[in-house]
């Protein structure tokens, strides 16, 4: 059945279709719109769609509307692969865009090589994992965000600088968690240190699950800090159980966690007197804080998010209950927004709408782009990652705010 469907799609894709004027520019997006990580997929989609709708409302891209074709993979590799095959087979899809998650993206990568002759590119996946930044797949992928290695490296450097050398790792036992773990390990080894303790959880754990066992394992080693590499529900559960167990060292998360989503889970407890739940968080970000009004893009993002708050959720997300409450603003949707803006700016810089096979060339020629982040976004033939900055944020008074002063974080 599946094979038949694939064959039909491939046959359909084989007939060349000219990009006629007025026809939509479509980007294929396979992401988690259901399950415990659905907040990431949905917010990423909403952020990107806010910008695309703005573009469409202001004359479109070279006069053509641009949109996203969302498909749900529930953060699982299997559906991600099927979705990808389907999307590649559809000729009107310009590129794959805004994929979410390490385990899904790393499994999709071989497909890009397989369908090399179709010149399909994966643009700005929401993951900092290494495989798509390393040969042989780096050729087919353009990243915007910094890698996990960069995030963890910056994080470890910061913690060591604060005198917190006994660093424990709590991570999701899959490729994503492993890449975070690997990043911490590598960063520590440059200081001659090793991981003080490690505990894992299975992908798919929710906030309701107990992380007491993992807390016990880590607390035993008496760490100075914990680096948490996981999804926001599990990480929030870990924070909750760690604070309950009296483990009050800083708990650091990396960008993938979805700070706002995690904050939302913990906020109820914070407000009901369990202040500890919301204290001691360090979250690295690969985009600036959406609270930083000094950046022009932030203003544009907030305005467009407010204007296009009515963007309908993808089909799969609408069907799954309980209904998802969209966030007005968050790092994830901001990243989605930036992804969309970077793509549009790059294509505009190219001077015309590229065909599939011209897309890599178009992006690679976007060497010093300004998307309003204060620093340039730069791609090149040997540089498929546009942005290297890592930002530190924390939870404070119900919001994710940048950390400007580290004096309180010392050991």
Interface residue with other proteins among 97, 140, 201, 391 (CB under 8 A) is: 201
The DSSP line for 4-57 is HHHHHHHHHHHS-----TTPPEEEEEEE--SSTTHHHHHHHHHHHHHHHHHHHH
Residue range at the interface with other proteins (CB under 8 A); choices 30-38, 100-108, 248-256, 378-386: 100-108
When asked if residue 134 is in the footprint of other proteins (CB under 8 A), the reply is: yes
Cα 154 from Cα 391, distance rounded (Å): 9
When asked if residue 277 is in the footprint of other proteins (CB under 8 A), the reply is: no
Sheet bearing 25-31, strands edge to edge? 66-72, 25-31, 93-97, 122-123, 141-142
When asked if residue 231 is in the footprint of other proteins (CB under 8 A), the reply is: no
Residue range at the interface with other proteins (CB under 8 A); choices 90-98, 111-119, 176-184, 343-351: 176-184
When asked if residue 72 is in the footprint of other proteins (CB under 8 A), the reply is: no
The CA-based angle 149-155-161, given to 5 degrees, is: 130
When asked if residue 241 is in the footprint of other proteins (CB under 8 A), the reply is: no
Interface residue with other proteins among 46, 178, 240, 384 (CB under 8 A) is: 178
Interface residue with other proteins among 70, 77, 125, 223 (CB under 8 A) is: 77
The count of C-alpha atoms lying within 13 angstroms of the C-alpha of 379, restricted to the half-sphere facing its C-beta, is 30
Residues 6+ apart with CB under 8 A from 11: none
C-beta separation of 68 from 99 below 8 A: no
- Residue 383 in 3-state DSSP? strand
When asked if residue 13 is in the footprint of other proteins (CB under 8 A), the reply is: no
Interface residue with other proteins among 51, 75, 181, 301 (CB under 8 A) is: 181
In the complex, what is the shortest distance from the CB of residue 179 to other proteins, in angstroms, rounded to a whole number? 3
- Residue linked to tokens 């966690």: 257
In the bound state with other proteins, the residue whose beta carbon lies nearer, of 182 and 311, is: 182
Sheet bearing 281-285, strands edge to edge? 197-201, 167-172, 225-229, 251-253, 281-285, 391-396, 399-402
- Residue 287 in 3-state DSSP? coil
When asked if residue 82 is in the footprint of other proteins (CB under 8 A), the reply is: no
Interface residue with other proteins among 113, 114, 186, 307 (CB under 8 A) is: 186
Interface residue with other proteins among 61, 139, 173, 270 (CB under 8 A) is: 173
When asked if residue 200 is in the footprint of other proteins (CB under 8 A), the reply is: yes
Cα 231 from Cα 233, distance rounded (Å): 6
When asked if residue 202 is in the footprint of other proteins (CB under 8 A), the reply is: yes
When asked if residue 198 is in the footprint of other proteins (CB under 8 A), the reply is: yes
When asked if residue 150 is in the footprint of other proteins (CB under 8 A), the reply is: no
In the complex, what is the shortest distance from the CB of residue 394 to other proteins, in angstroms, rounded to a whole number? 26
When asked if residue 174 is in the footprint of other proteins (CB under 8 A), the reply is: yes
Residue-level length of the chain = 411
When asked if residue 237 is in the footprint of other proteins (CB under 8 A), the reply is: no
Q: Which two tokens stand for residue 373?
A: 């982040």
In the bound state with other proteins, the residue whose beta carbon lies nearer, of 77 and 369, is: 77
Cα 268 from Cα 278, distance rounded (Å): 10
Cα 344 from Cα 307, distance rounded (Å): 19
Interface residue with other proteins among 55, 155, 184, 199 (CB under 8 A) is: 199
In the bound state with other proteins, the residue whose beta carbon lies nearer, of 45 and 148, is: 148
Binding mask 377-396 toward other proteins (x if CB under 8 A, else -) reads --------------------
Cα 62 from Cα 73, distance rounded (Å): 31
In the complex, what is the shortest distance from the CB of residue 231 to other proteins, in angstroms, rounded to a whole number? 14
In the bound state with other proteins, the residue whose beta carbon lies nearer, of 182 and 285, is: 182
In the complex, what is the shortest distance from the CB of residue 118 to other proteins, in angstroms, rounded to a whole number? 23
> Closest Cα to residue 187, out of 224, 150, 218?
150
When asked if residue 177 is in the footprint of other proteins (CB under 8 A), the reply is: yes
Neighbours of 328 (CB within 10 A): 11
Task: For the segment 104-133, give every residue that binds other proteins (CB under 8 A).
Answer: 106-107, 129-131
φ, ψ (nearest 5 deg) of residue 375 = -120, 150
Site residues (vs other proteins, CB under 8 A): 77-78, 102-103, 106-107, 129-131, 134, 173-179, 181-182, 186, 198-202, 211, 213-214, 217
């Amino acid at each position: 059945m599946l094979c038949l469907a694939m064959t039909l799609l491939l046959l359909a894709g084989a007939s060349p279709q000219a990009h006629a004027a007025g026809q939509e520019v479509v980007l294929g997006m396979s992401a988690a719109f259901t399950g415990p990580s659905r907040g990431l997929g949905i917010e990423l989609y909403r952020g990107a769609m806010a910008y695309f709708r703005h573009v469409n409302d202001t004359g479109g891209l070279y006069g053509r509307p641009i949109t996203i074709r969302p498909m749900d993979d529930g953060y699982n590799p299997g559906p991600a692969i099927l979705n990808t095959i389907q999307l590649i087979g559809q000729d009107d899809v310009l590129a794959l865009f805004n994929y979410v998650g390490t385990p899904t993206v790393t499994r999709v990568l071989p497909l890009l090589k397989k369908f090399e002759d179709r010149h399909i590119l994966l643009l700005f996946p929401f993951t900092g994992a290494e495989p798509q930044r390393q040969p042989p797949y780096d050729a087919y992928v353009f990243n915007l965000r910094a890698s996990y290695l960069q995030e963890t490296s910056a994080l470890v450097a910061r913690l060591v600088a604060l005198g917190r050398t006994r660093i424990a790792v709590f991570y999701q036992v899959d490729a994503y968690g492993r890449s975070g773990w690997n990043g911490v390990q590598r960063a520590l080894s440059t200081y001659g240190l090793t991981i003080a303790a490690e505990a894992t959880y299975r992908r798919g754990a929710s906030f309701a699950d107990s992380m007491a066992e993992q807390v016990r394992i880590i607390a035993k080693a008496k760490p100075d800090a914990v680096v948490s590499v996981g999804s926001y529900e599990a990480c929030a559960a870990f924070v909750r159980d760690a604070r309950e167990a009296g483990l009050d060292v800083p708990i650091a998360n990396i960008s993938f966690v979805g700070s706002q989503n995690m904050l939302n889970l913990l906020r109820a407890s914070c407000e009901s007197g369990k202040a500890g739940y919301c204290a001691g968080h360090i979250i690295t970000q690969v985009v600036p804080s959406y609270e930083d009004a000094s950046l022009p893009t932030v203003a544009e993002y907030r305005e467009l998010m407010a204007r296009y708050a009515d963007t309908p959720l993808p089909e799969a997300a609408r069907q799954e209950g309980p209904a998802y409450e969209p966030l007005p603003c968050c790092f994830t949707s901001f990243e989605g927004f930036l992804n969309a803006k970077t793509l549009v700016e790059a294509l505009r810089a190219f001077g015309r709408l590229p065909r599939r096979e011209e897309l890599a060339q178009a992006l690679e020629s976007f060497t010093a782009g300004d998307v309003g982040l204060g620093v340039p976004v730069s791609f090149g033939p040997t540089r498929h990652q546009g942005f290297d900055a890592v930002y530190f944020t924390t939870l404070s008074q119900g919001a994710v705010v940048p950390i400007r002063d580290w004096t309180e974080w010392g050991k």
